[in-house]
Amino acid sequence: MKENILETLKNLHFTEYEAKAYLTLLQDSPLTGYAVAKNSGVPRSRIYEVLDNLTSRGDILVSLGNTPQYTPVPAKELIRNRRQKAEENFELAEKSLAQFENSANDRENIWNIMGRSEILDKVKACISSSSTRILLEVWKEEYEVLEAELKQAAARGVNVTIIAYGEIVSDFANVYLHYMGDAITDEYGGRWIVISGDDSEVVAGIVSLGDDSRAAWTMHVGLVMPITEVMIHDLYLMEIMAKHRELLEESFGKNLTQLRRKFSIHPDFKKHYVD
């Protein structure tokens, strides 16, 4: 039993000698340094160094006089003090590391992510760190994987706006159904995902190739700004199509086919990014 308690104290950053001295004082106090050494087994040559360490840390108290005597801080108080100090250290570490992250070179780099699951994990991280706005272009297949995280973001006050390919229904997000729906998958040869978090971080890539899916994550303003603005322009187009679809298709063909063909470089008028 005693050995277990000694190990527990070691886990609270006591040395073996400190643990023995403190436990001895818990069992019988006040004691002189000589008595602590005798009862604990700590060498007399080390006892006053050990007691000084415990005193300076606030784990024991000393009554100064001709012969100093020592008494322990009660166990509950010791644990409370350790817990409070640990929480303070965690809070300080969290703030310090966040400041370091904000000042690190991540804002100058573009990181490659391979694999559909890995890409979606990074998108989830982006969702979790967002505090103001999320813009997301997504197919139904990927939305179902991300729905829980998106709902949590909305619950904490984040504005979630989705450009949806396929039928996506949400009671917490602003959903704009793309005018081509799933049909666009055939034209592009696959599904992609794009997310902008707080206009400061983006993940963008292809997610329909399984383990060969690939995406980029960056906080580089040179990419965050244009990618975010392209998504906003897509939203403009969704609004315009919702109100003036008949007129626009009269000018540019069904689903604006003539416009897409005008700016295609391939004879079949399809995209070939994934070939």
| CATH of residue 118 | 3.30.870.10
The string of pLDDT tens digits covering residues 40-53 is 999 999 999 999 99
The per-residue pLDDT for 96 is: 74
Q: Are residues 21 and 143 in the same domain?
A: no
Residues 6 or more apart whose CB falls under 8 angstroms from that of 128 comprise 149, 152, 153
Average pLDDT value for the chain? 87
Has residue 66 been placed in a domain? yes
**Domain end residue (candidates: 72, 99, 131):** 72
Q: Are residues 65 and 116 in the same domain?
A: no
The string of pLDDT tens digits covering residues 175-230 is 998 866 666 666 666 788 999 999 999 999 999 889 899 999 999 999 999 999 99
Q: Are residues 149 and 218 in the same domain?
A: yes
Q: Are residues 41 and 142 in the same domain?
A: no
Site of tokens 């370091």:
100
**Domain end residue (candidates: 72, 101, 119):** 72
Has residue 99 been placed in a domain? no
Q: Are residues 134 and 217 in the same domain?
A: yes
Q: CATH number for the domain including 21? A: 1.10.10.10
Sign of CA dihedral 170, 171, 172, 175: positive
Encoded tokens for 14:
């006591």
Has residue 12 been placed in a domain? yes
Has residue 273 been placed in a domain? no
In angstroms, the CA 215 to CA 74 distance is: 56
273 or 127, higher pLDDT:
127
Q: Are residues 119 and 249 in the same domain?
A: yes
Has residue 97 been placed in a domain? no
The string of pLDDT tens digits covering residues 6-28 is 888 888 889 999 999 999 999 99
Q: How far is CA 203 from CA 24, 50, 110, 217, 269, in A?
A: 58, 54, 10, 4, 27
**Domain end residue (candidates: 42, 72, 102):** 72
Has residue 103 been placed in a domain? no
List the domain range (segments joined by +) for residue 62.
Answer: 2-72
pLDDT of residue 242 exceeding 80, the answer is yes
Q: Are residues 38 and 148 in the same domain?
A: no
Has residue 80 been placed in a domain? no
Number of structural domains, the chain?
2
**Chain centroid to CA 188:** 32
State the first-to-last Cα distance of the chain, in angstroms, to the nearest integer: 68
Site of tokens 């070691």:
10
Q: Are residues 65 and 115 in the same domain?
A: no
**Lowest mean per-residue pLDDT among 105-119, 163-177, 205-219:** 105-119
Q: Are residues 53 and 117 in the same domain?
A: no
Q: Are residues 230 and 133 in the same domain?
A: yes
| 0.85 surpassed by pTM | no
Q: Are residues 133 and 218 in the same domain?
A: yes
pLDDT of residue 74 exceeding 80, the answer is yes
Q: Are residues 131 and 230 in the same domain?
A: yes
pLDDT of residue 155 exceeding 70, the answer is yes
